[in-house]
Amino acid sequence: MSSRGNFTKGQTWGALKKAWRGYKIAKVQGDSAKMKEYATKIRTLQGELGVKQASFPELGI
């Protein structure tokens, strides 16, 4: 059973982990455009995995 297209649940978790890493790096660099991009991706992946979605109040998300 795949959770997103042709990706396995494990691959989706891996993508979520990478998205969080990217978000944290963007935050350190003060790149709000990238932070918003990663935050959106994180929430989408969390939704696909059926886990609680993170909120990003500093981005209005």
Q: What is the pLDDT along the chain (61 residues), one digit of tens a residue?
A: 444 567 899 999 999 999 999 999 999 999 999 999 999 999 999 999 999 999 999 999 9
* Domain residue spans of the chain: 15-50
Q: In this structure, how many other beta carbons lie within 10 angstroms of the beta carbon of residue 32?
A: 13
| pTM of the full structure | 0.87
Sign (positive or negative) of CA dihedral 42, 44, 49, 55: positive
